[in-house]
Structure 1
């Protein structure tokens, strides 16, 4: 897989880095991250967070993926919690290669107390603000979370026949089948050979190693490409990811010598139509025989497109 979606962006300014780190230092100090007894309990933040993430049970493999932890570090923390009687390791009968971690009754009680103390800490911090200021802070944190999530997502070029590409297309097809009044026939999906190598490109967006979006580009004619199947998982919508995928597809088109890209969209996908117009696409007459097309768009690319 090849990652490209950061290659055309301007460098990060030193003052932005300094501001980010300054906020990080302040916030981590205020919530007690530096204390080995996080929230006044007898364990550091790492162990407390792991206990929370285990919930009612999870595999070590899933915890490693979700938290981005080194296998050895995760194993040491799990053993520490096990030694304290807070979790137990289970090997499921259906797969002896898996290791599941489950909370004990003591572990559940510990998480409940952790939640109570965390709520009290947050309430204590917010008490110093009036209602309007609390609303402002809450909105600012929502914006910060959205942008940090978007910053953490990577966009990769993958083979059109790869498991991740086909899984994204299956999810795309199921999603629009539910939205289109006439349903959707998966036979209309692009073929792997149309969106691989010189013929085109298939992009997959990953959040914490999990595919959360896709988009495809294929050649229509000399100098002309077509964008297909721009899709974002419901849990990753309203982050700005669809625009990033679209910019990535435009960048891929330029790299293949395509000066024009076209696309079509269904009449019910009004949000997609608005995004394409906002991104510089102009509506044109029908250019294909796609039975699901209701609006057709075109954009003439410049070197700065996709940046």
Structure 2
């Protein structure tokens, strides 16, 4: 069974394992982009900053960490809303737990959080070669939109959020 811990970025306790999850995410992403990086020190500075100090990097954001059978299984960051829009970043599921619903649970928790705080749209970007992630996002109601990012092979997607009922 997968459980989700939600915390503000600035209050994210180290024992959640976010640093290790971000390390795996960034190392794999660089490898997939064709730049095999074997150590955190070789990552771009902005990624090293997220790994070494996620509390500062995501201070205004919400961090979700999934646990599956008492171990950290994945993570996701929901950015602070700007003009009614938040962004999903850093969705990662440890490879050996893929197919167990971890990513779906994380995205579902992100959408629930967005609805609860009055966000109207959730956006994300994903590399085009991550076909499994693209299929998951489409299944969860995200649609491809015009890119807001100039990087090649990046697919931008959005989804309207149904606001939580107040009564």
The TM-score, its normalising length taken from structure 2, stands at 0.78
The CA deviation at 1:232 is: 0.5
Report the 3-state secondary structure (helix = DSSP H, G, I; strand = E; otherwise coil) of the residue aligned with 1:219. Answer: coil
The CA deviation at 1:174 is: 1.8
Aligned match of 1:169: 22
Aligned match of 1:4: none
CA deviations on 1:164-219 (whole Å, 9 max, x unpaired) are 222211121122222222456362476534645xx321000112331111111003
Runs of 4 or more above 4 Å deviation:
188-191
Unaligned runs of 5+ in 1: 1-151
CA deviations on 1:234-291 (whole Å, 9 max, x unpaired) are 12111121111101111111222211010001121111111111111111111245x4
Change (3 A) 1:177 1:275: same
The CA deviation at 1:155 is: 0.7
Aligned match of 1:236: 97
**C-alpha contact 1:250 1:261 (8 A) present in aligned 2:** yes
The structure in which a higher percent of residues are helix is 1
Report the 3-state secondary structure (helix = DSSP H, G, I; strand = E; otherwise coil) of the residue aligned with 2:119. Answer: coil
- Root-mean-square deviation (Å): 2.4
- Greater length-normalized contact order (CA 8 Å, ≥ 6 residues apart): 2
Aligned match of 1:302: 162
Change (3 A) 1:292 1:212: farther
Q: Determine which of 212, 215, 219 is the counterpart of 2:76.
A: 215
Unaligned runs of 5+ in 2: 37-42
The structure in which a higher percent of residues are strand is 2
**C-alpha contact 1:204 1:214 (8 A) present in aligned 2:** yes
The TM-score, its normalising length taken from structure 1, stands at 0.44
